C-alpha cells in the first residue's frame, strides 16, 4: 500500500471519529438548550451548549468542512451573546438554536455522504440570516475570502485598527499527535481575512536528516478581523499542547514586536534580522531594532498576548536545533498530549461494532468448546483434569461476562432523545407536558438500545396525541394543567423492563370493542378480559381515532411496534384506567448473545430456561399428578395458586416411549415473568448451563414458545424456551378449558 493510500485511510478513520463525536456534541447541545428553556438562569447549561457548538466548529474546520464551520459559527455567535448578556434568552432564540442543531446534523450528513444538496445550503443561509437578526447584527456584505495559497511579496497597507499579528510555531510532535497546521489557518479564515502570511522553513533540516513525521514549520501572519481576542484564541485551543502561539492585537506598538523577536530568536542576531525582514515584507513599515535587546522595554509598550502557553516552544526560525535534542523530550511531550486529551479518551476506546460482534461470536464458540472439554473430563474422572477444566471454565465465564459488558450501555441516552420530541410535539398540539425520566442508568445490549428507539418514539407520540388531554380538558376534570408523561426502566428477573406511562384520559374500552366488532376481529357480545381488549390495539390497521392527524390516527404503527419488540424476543403489554392514564410495559432480555441457562430434559429433548427466570424446583404436586392427561391446570404452592404447564404434552412428545423412571420422577420448575409465576413440568433437571443463543431458522418460526437454540458440549442441540410465550400459552389453555366448561353446562340449544 502506498503512502498516499495510508494517508487516505488514516484520514477516513479520523473523519469517521469526528462524525461520531459530532453526534455526541449535538446531543449535548440539544440537552443544554432544553434545560435553558425551562431554566434560563442555568449558566452551566448555556456553557455546555456553547462548548458543544465550538467543538463541532473547531473539529469541522480541521477536516475542511467549510459549510459546517460557517453555519455553526452563526449559532456559536448567538450563544456567545447570551453568555455575555448582550442578548436575553427567549422562545424565539431557543427555537432558532434548536433548528440550528437540526441544520448542523443535516450538514454533517452531507459530510458523511459526500453529497451536497442546494436545498440544504439554502436553508442554512436562511437560518443563518435569522440567527443574525435575533442577534441584531447586520448582514455581511460578502463572504469571507479563503486563505491565500502563498504569501505575497508585499502587502498593501490596510487599516491598522483591524489588523492582528499572529506568530505561530508548531512543535516537533504536532503531526504525530494528529494536528494539521493548515486546518487552523482555514478555520481562522472564517473569522476574517488573512492579509499576509509567511511560512518559516529555516528549521527544516537537510533531506538525509529529515523526519517525515515531524513538524518544522512556523508561520507569521497578518489577520484582518473584527473578532475578539477570545474568538481568535479559541481557534487554536485544540493545539494548545503542541504549539506556541503569540497574538498581538491591533495597534500594537513596535516595542512589543521587539519583545516577540526576543522570544522567538533569543540572542541570535541573524535570526532576528531574518524575522524583521519577514515582517517588513508583510507590510509592516515601522522601524525595528536589530540588536539584541538588553534594556527593558518602555513602560508604555504593550505586552504580548500569549495563547495558552503550557510548555516552552523551540524557535522555528532561529538557528536549526538538533533533531536528537527534540526527540529527547518526546516522551514528556507525548505524556502532555495525553493529559491534554484527558477524560474520555483516556477511559474509552472506539471499537467498530462488527469487530465486537465477531469477538462475542468467538467467545460463544469458546463457551461451547469449554463445555465439551468439561464433559470429557467428567467422563474420564481424572481429578487433575477436572480441576484444570473447571479453572478454564471459570476464566471463560469471566471473559464472557466481561465481553458482554462491552455491549451493555445505559438506556438513558435513548431516553434523552425524547426531551426534544416532547417539547416539539407538545408545542405542535398546544398541550403542556412534563416529561419524567427515571432508570436511565439501566443497562441493556447496545443492539437492542438502537432497535428500541423507534417503538418508544411511536408510544411517546401516541400518549401525547391520544392519551393526554388538552389544557381545558384537564382543568375541567380537576387535573393539573400540565400532563405527565413518564419513561422508566429497570431490571427484573433477568430482563429489562421499559415503561411508558401517562396520566391522560386512558383507553376507551367500549370504543375498542365496537371497532373490533366492526372489523370482525371479535364476535358481537363476546366477553373479553381487559388484557384481551387492550391487545386488540396491536391488530394491523386498528385505530379508534375519530380524525387523522399528522402524528397518528391512521391505524399504522402499533402492530409494527409489537413486531419490533417480538423480534427482540420481548413482549409488550398495556394496562389502562379510564380518566387516570395508560401504562405500556415492554419486557426485553438483557442480551441477545449469551445467557446463564438452566438445562432440563423433556421426552429426550433438551430445553433451556433463562436462569434468572427460575424461582425454584419442586417435585410434581399431587394435584398435578392426578391430572396427568391434561396439558395445564393449577396447583397450590404454599398457599399461592399457580398455573402449571406440562411441557411434554404441550409439545406433543409424551407418547414417544420416553416414560421411563426419569419421567416417573418428574419435577416442576417454577419460573417467573414479572410478578407472575408458573410451574413447568419437566422430566429431568440437568442444572446450570452457559447458553450461547443461536437464532432459529425461518422455517421454525411457527414453533410455540421457542426463543432460539444452543449447542451443548456433547454437540447436541438444546432449545431455548420463551418464558413469556409459555405464560401466554398457559393462559390460553386455561381460557379454552373455561369456555368449553361453560359450553358443556349450557342448556340444550344454547351451547
Alpha helices in 198-352 (DSSP H): 229-235, 254-265, 269-281, 323-328, 330-340, 344-347
Residue 85 burial (10 A CB sphere; 0-12, 13-18, 19+) = exposed
Tens of pLDDT, residue by residue over 384-398, are: 888 898 899 889 888
Look up cell 425454584; give the residue: 616
Tens of pLDDT, residue by residue over 685-708, are: 988 888 888 777 767 766 778 878
For residues 563 and 659, state if they share a domain.
no
* Closest-CA residue to 568 (of 620, 643, 514, 495): 495
For residues 122 and 168, state if they share a domain.
no
* C-alpha of 579 from chain center: 36
Half-sphere exposure of 662 (CA within 13 A, CB side): 15
Where residue 127 sits, what CATH number does that domain have?
1.20.120.160
**Which pairing describes strands 684-692 and 640-646: parallel, antiparallel, or unpaired?**
unpaired
C-alpha 137/C-alpha 127 separation (Å) is: 14
For residue 535, give the 3-state DSSP assignment.
helix
Predicted pLDDT of residue 158: 41
E strand intervals along 214-259: 218-224, 243-248
Q: Cell triple for residue 606? A: 433438551
Listed residues 85, 100, 135: the one ending a domain = 135
Residue 641: CB atoms within 10 A of its CB come to: 8
The pTM score is: 0.62
Q: Is 148 part of a structural domain of the chain?
A: no
For residues 200 and 250, state if they share a domain.
yes
Predicted pLDDT of residue 701: 65
Residues written for the chain:
751
Predicted pLDDT of residue 390: 87
Spatial neighbors of 615 by CB under 8 A, at least 6 apart, are 670, 671, 672, 677
Structural domains counted in the chain: 5
C-alpha 202/C-alpha 193 separation (Å) is: 26
Q: Is 617 part of a structural domain of the chain?
A: yes
* Closest-CA residue to 190 (of 134, 231, 138): 231
Distance between start and end Cα atoms, the chain: 82
For residues 438 and 562, state if they share a domain.
yes
Predicted pLDDT of residue 104: 92
For residues 577 and 599, state if they share a domain.
no
Predicted pLDDT of residue 732: 67
For residues 174 and 299, state if they share a domain.
yes
Predicted pLDDT of residue 489: 93
Listed residues 589, 607, 624: the one ending a domain = 589
Q: Is 128 part of a structural domain of the chain?
A: yes
736's enclosing H/E stretch is helix 723-745
80's enclosing H/E stretch is helix 66-83
Q: Is 349 part of a structural domain of the chain?
A: no
Residue 216 burial (10 A CB sphere; 0-12, 13-18, 19+) = buried
For residues 512 and 394, state if they share a domain.
no
Predicted pLDDT of residue 544: 62
Q: 150 vs 165, 179, 319, CA distance in Å?
A: 17, 21, 24
DSSP letter, residue 204: P
How does 501-536 read in b/e, with b if 16+ C-beta sit within 10 Å? bbbbbbbeeeebbebbeeeeebeeeeeeeeeebbbb
Judge whether 253 and 300 are in contact, CB under 8 Å: yes
Predicted pLDDT of residue 137: 61
DSSP letter, residue 114: -
Look up cell 420416553; give the residue: 658
Q: 378 vs 375, 397, 602, CA distance in Å?
A: 5, 19, 23
Question: Which residues share a beta bridge with 601?
Answer: 606, 684
Half-sphere exposure of 285 (CA within 13 A, CB side): 7
For residue 280, give the 3-state DSSP assignment.
helix
For residues 580 and 625, state if they share a domain.
no
Q: Is 88 part of a structural domain of the chain?
A: yes
Judge whether 575 and 534 are in contact, CB under 8 Å: yes
Q: Is 574 part of a structural domain of the chain?
A: yes
Where residue 179 sits, what CATH number does that domain have?
3.30.70.260
C-alpha 170/C-alpha 326 separation (Å) is: 13
What is the extent of the structural domain holding 381? 355-407
For residue 589, give the 3-state DSSP assignment.
strand
Spatial neighbors of 636 by CB under 8 A, at least 6 apart, are 621, 623, 642
C-alpha 491/C-alpha 553 separation (Å) is: 33
26's enclosing H/E stretch is helix 3-38
For residues 420 and 547, state if they share a domain.
yes
For residues 547 and 644, state if they share a domain.
no
Q: By 3-state DSSP, what share of the chain in percent is helix, strand and coil, each rounded to 5? A: 45, 20, 35
Share of the chain above pLDDT 70, in %: 79
Q: Cell triple for residue 143? A: 463572504
For residues 400 and 414, state if they share a domain.
no
Q: What is the DSSP code string of 390-419?
A: HHHHHHHHHHHHHHHHHTEEETHHHHHHHH
Q: Is 599 part of a structural domain of the chain?
A: yes
Predicted pLDDT of residue 40: 87
* C-alpha of 606 from chain center: 39
Q: Is 340 part of a structural domain of the chain?
A: no
Listed residues 388, 407, 426: the one ending a domain = 407
C-alpha 646/C-alpha 654 separation (Å) is: 9
Where residue 563 sits, what CATH number does that domain have?
3.30.565.10
Residue 430 burial (10 A CB sphere; 0-12, 13-18, 19+) = exposed
Q: Cell triple for residue 592? A: 441477545
| Residue numbers of the chain with a pLDDT score lower than 70 | 1-11, 137-161, 285-348, 493, 543-557, 654-664, 674, 698, 701-702, 731-751
For residues 182 and 297, state if they share a domain.
yes
Amino acid at each position: 500500500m502506498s503512502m498516499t493510500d495510508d494517508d487516505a485511510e488514516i484520514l477516513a478513520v479520523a473523519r469517521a471519529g469526528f462524525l461520531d463525536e459530532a453526534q455526541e456534541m449535538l446531543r449535548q447541545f440539544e440537552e443544554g438548550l432544553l434545560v435553558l428553556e425551562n431554566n434560563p438562569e442555568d449558566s452551566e447549561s448555556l456553557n455546555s451548549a456553547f462548548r458543544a457548538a465550538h467543538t463541532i466548529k473547531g473539529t469541522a474546520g480541521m477536516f475542511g468542512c467549510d459549510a459546517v464551520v460557517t453555519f455553526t459559527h452563526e449559532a456559536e455567535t448567538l450563544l456567545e451573546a447570551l453568555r455575555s448578556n448582550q442578548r436575553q434568552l427567549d422562545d424565539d432564540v431557543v427555537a432558532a438554536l434548536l433548528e440550528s442543531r437540526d441544520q448542523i446534523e443535516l450538514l454533517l450528513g452531507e459530510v458523511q455522504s459526500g453529497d451536497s444538496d442546494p436545498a440544504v445550503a439554502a436553508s442554512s443561509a436562511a437560518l443563518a440570516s435569522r440567527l443574525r437578526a435575533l442577534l441584531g447584527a447586520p448582514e455581511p456584505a460578502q463572504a469571507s475570502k479563503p486563505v491565500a495559497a502563498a504569501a505575497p511579496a508585499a502587502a498593501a497597507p490596510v487599516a491598522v485598527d483591524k489588523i492582528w499579528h499572529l506568530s505561530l510555531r508548531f512543535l516537533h510532535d504536532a503531526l504525530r499527535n494528529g494536528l494539521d497546521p493548515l486546518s487552523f489557518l482555514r478555520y481562522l479564515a472564517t473569522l476574517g481575512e488573512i492579509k499576509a502570511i509567511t511560512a518559516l522553513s529555516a528549521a527544516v533540516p537537510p533531506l538525509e536528516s529529515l523526519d517525515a513525521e515531524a513538524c518544522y514549520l512556523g508561520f507569521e501572519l497578518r489577520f484582518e478581523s473584527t473578532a475578539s481576542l477570545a474568538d481568535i484564541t479559541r481557534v487554536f485551543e485544540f493545539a494548545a499542547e503542541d504549539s506556541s502561539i503569540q497574538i498581538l492585537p491591533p495597534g500594537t506598538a513596535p516595542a512589543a514586536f521587539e519583545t516577540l523577536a526576543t522570544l522567538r530568536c533569543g540572542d541570535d542576531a541573524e535570526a532576528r534580522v531574518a524575522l524583521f525582514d519577514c515582517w517588513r515584507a508583510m507590510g509592516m513599515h515601522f522601524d525595528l531594532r536589530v540588536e539584541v535587546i538588553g534594556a527593558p522595554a518602555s513602560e508604555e509598550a504593550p505586552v504580548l498576548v500569549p495563547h495558552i502557553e503550557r510548555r516552552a516552544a523551540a524557535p522555528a526560525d532561529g538557528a536549526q536545533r538538533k533533531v536528537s535534542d527534540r526527540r529527547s523530550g518526546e516522551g514528556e511531550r507525548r505524556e502532555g498530549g495525553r493529559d491534554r486529551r484527558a477524560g474520555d479518551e483516556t477511559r474509552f476506546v472506539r471499537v467498530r461494532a462488527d469487530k465486537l460482534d465477531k469477538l462475542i461470536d468467538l467467545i460463544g464458540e469458546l463457551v461451547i468448546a469449554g463445555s465439551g472439554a468439561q464433559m470429557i473430563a467428567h467422563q474420564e474422572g481424572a481429578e487433575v483434569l477436572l480441576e484444570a477444566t473447571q479453572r478454564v471454565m471459570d476464566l471463560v465465564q469471566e471473559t464472557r461476562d466481561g465481553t458482554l459488558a462491552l455491549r451493555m450501555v445505559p438506556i438513558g441516552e435513548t431516553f434523552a432523545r425524547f426531551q426534544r420530541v416532547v417539547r416539539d410535539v407538545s408545542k405542535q398540539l398546544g398541550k403542556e407536558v412534563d416529561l419524567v425520566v427515571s432508570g436511565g442508568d439501566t443497562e441493556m445490549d447496545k443492539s437492542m438500545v438502537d432497535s428500541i428507539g423507534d417503538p418508544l418514539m411511536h408510544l411517546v407520540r401516541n400518549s401525547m396525541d391520544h392519551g393526554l388531554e388538552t389544557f381545558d380538558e384537564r382543568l375541567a376534570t380537576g387535573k393539573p394543567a400540565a400532563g405527565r408523561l413518564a419513561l422508566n426502566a429497570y431490571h427484573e428477573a433477568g430482563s429489562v423492563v421499559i415503561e411508558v406511562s401517562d396520566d391522560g384520559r386512558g383507553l376507551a374500552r367500549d370504543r375498542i370493542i365496537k371497532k373490533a366488532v366492526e372489523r370482525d376481529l371479535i364476535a358481537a357480545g363476546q366477553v373479553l378480559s381487559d388484557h384481551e381488549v387492550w391487545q386488540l390495539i396491536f391488530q394491523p390497521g386498528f385505530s379508534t381515532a375519530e380524525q387523522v392527524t399528522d402524528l397518528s390516527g391512521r391505524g399504522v404503527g402499533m402492530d409494527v411496534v409489537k413486531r419490533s419488540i417480538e423480534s427482540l424476543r420481548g413482549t409488550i403489554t398495556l394496562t389502562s384506567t379510564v380518566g387516570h392514564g395508560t401504562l405500556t410495559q415492554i419486557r426485553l432480555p438483557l442480551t441477545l448473545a449469551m445467557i446463564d441457562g438452566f438445562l432440563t430434559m423433556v421426552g429426550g429433548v433438551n430445553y433451556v430456561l433463562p436462569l434468572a427466570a427460575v424461582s425454584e424446583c419442586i417435585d410434581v404436586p399431587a394435584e398435578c399428578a392426578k391430572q396427568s392427561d391434561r396439558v395445564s391446570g393449577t396447583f397450590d404452592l404454599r398457599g399461592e395458586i399457580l398455573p402449571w404447564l406440562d411441557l411434554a404434552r404441550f409439545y406433543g412428545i409424551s407418547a414417544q416411549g420416553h416414560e421411563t423412571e426419569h419421567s416417573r420422577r418428574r419435577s416442576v420448575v417454577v419460573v417467573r415473568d414479572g410478578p407472575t409465576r408458573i410451574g413447568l413440568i419437566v422430566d429431568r433437571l440437568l442444572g446450570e448451563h452457559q447458553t450461547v443463543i443461536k437464532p432459529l431458522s425461518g422455517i421454525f418460526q411457527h414453533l410455540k414458545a421457542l426463543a432460539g437454540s444452543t449447542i451443548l458440549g456433547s454437540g447436541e442441540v438444546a432449545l431455548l424456551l420463551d418464558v413469556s410465550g409459555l405464560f401466554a400459552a398457559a393462559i390460553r389453555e386455561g381460557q379454552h378449558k373455561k369456555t368449553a366448561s361453560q359450553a358443556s353446562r349450557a342448556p340444550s340449544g344454547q351451547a
